[in-house]
Amino acid sequence: MKKIAFLGAGSMAEAMISGFVNGGLYQPAQIGVTNRSNTNRLLELSKTYGVSVTDHKKALLDSADIIILAMKPKDAQEALLSIREFIEERHLVISVLAGVTISSITTLLQKDAAVIRAMPNTSASVRMSATAMAVNSKATLHHIQAAKQIFETIGMVTLVEEEKLDAVTGLSGSGPAYIYYIVEAMEQAALEVGLEKEMARNLILQTLAGASEMLLQTNKQPSDLRREVTSPGGTTEAGIQALQNYQLQEAIVACVKSAVERSKELRAGQPAR
Ligand SMILES: NC(=O)C1=CN([C@@H]2O[C@H](COP(=O)(O)OP(=O)(O)OC[C@H]3O[C@@H](n4cnc5c(N)ncnc54)[C@H](OP(=O)(O)O)[C@@H]3O)[C@@H](O)[C@H]2O)C=CC1
Ligand SMILES: O=C(O)[C@@H]1CCC=N1
């Protein structure tokens, strides 16, 4: 069985580790994790998931077949320079870094390595990630199958051209946060219209899950499903009118486009806006 080494032990690494371990395809013993300096974080991951943790990068990479890069884009250069002498022909490098191109990874590694650039999201921790991945010419069919299997363990995966990955990042990589933001607003609204917090949360979450299932199971367009809820002169119409007054659709389009642009900026190393 393949061994996986994580470079980076933050939110995205944990979401993937949690999905891998809970999904049962990988035993904790097959997963090794390192980070830059936060030993307490490594111990926490070891305690929670049983994975092995180390600050010894050479040992970690020597025992791994697949290396997952999961540090912030701004830390990629330092991280890649610190491992390049340990990269061997057999390694498959998988990057989940927003914005960072495959060619910049191979350039920093100074190796003609097999690299797969993927964009999952944090729903990986409940094995519901929407992941897109792009591959370089060194990646064999075997590598692609291995990466596909990894990402299928934590949700769905689709293969795309690398140039599409910034768009994917702005849409589904960041996407969970947009939905959480809407839930925050619905919770706030619930309080303001006099509903008790916990009951409101249950109603909101079931509404969200139900709407998602309706989209999946009925195959209907979202606009058609929306019309089915909207009685002429009724409550939904009044609510949607308020959303239109605040230009919610335009705001969401601007939100995704802004995230896509930021993904492009990240590879140029531009500081936060
Ligand atoms: N969060 C998300 O929803 C998603 C994130 N991503 C991508 O995943 C990557 C990680 O994001 P996220 O988990 O949120 O970030 P976090 O800030 O939570 O974690 C970053 C991790 O990288 C480690 N790190 C920093 N420098 C190095 C280094 N030189 N060598 C090894 N490890 C290093 C940090 O270690 P230490 O704490 O010791 O500094 C930390 O464990 C980003 O590139 C992001 O674009 C992709 C999809 C979704
Ligand atoms: O916010 C970010 O930059 C990362 C990439 C996608 C989701 N989180």
DSSP string, 93-161: EEE--SS--HHHHHHHHTS--EEEEEE--GGGGGT-EEEEEEE-TT--HHHHHHHHHHHHHTEEEEE--
Domain 174-267: state its class. Answer: mainly alpha
Per-residue confidence (pLDDT) for residue 224, from 0 to 100: 98
Split the chain (273 residues) into runs of 10 and give each run's mean pLDDT.
93 95 91 98 98 97 97 96 96 97 96 97 95 97 95 97 98 98 98 98 98 97 98 98 98 98 91 84
The reply to whether ligand 1 has any atom less than 6 angstroms from the CB of 44 is no
Residue written as token pair 């009685």: 231
Whose atoms come closest to the Cα of 108: which ligand? 1
Q: Ligand 1: which atom is nearest the Cα of residue 71? A: 22
Residue written as token pair 């899950």: 209
Ligand 2 centre to CA of 98 (Å) is 6
Residue 150 CA to residue 244 CA, distance in Å, equals: 41
Pocket probe for ligand 2: among 69, 174, 267, 270, the residue whose CB has the most ligand atoms within 8 Å is: 174
Per-residue confidence (pLDDT) for residue 78, from 0 to 100: 96
Nearest to 127 by CA among 15, 5, 10, 214: 15
Burial 42-54 (b: 16+ CB within 10 A, else e): beebbeebebbbb
The reply to whether ligand 1 has any atom less than 6 angstroms from the CB of 37 is yes
Whose atoms come closest to the Cα of 68: which ligand? 1
Pocket probe for ligand 1: among 55, 60, 72, the residue whose CB has the most ligand atoms within 8 Å is: 72
Residue 155 CA to residue 126 CA, distance in Å, equals: 8
* Domains of the chain by residue range: 4-160, 174-267
Residue 16 CA to residue 18 CA, distance in Å, equals: 5
Per-residue confidence (pLDDT) for residue 2, from 0 to 100: 81
The reply to whether ligand 1 has any atom less than 6 angstroms from the CB of 173 is yes
Residue 107 CA to residue 84 CA, distance in Å, equals: 10
pTM: 0.95
Cβ count near 151 (within 10 Å) = 25
Q: Ligand 2: which atom is nearest the Cα of residue 98? A: 5
ipTM of the assembly?
A: 0.99
CATH of range 4-160; options 3.40.50.10190, 3.30.420.40, 3.20.20.540, 3.40.50.720: 3.40.50.720
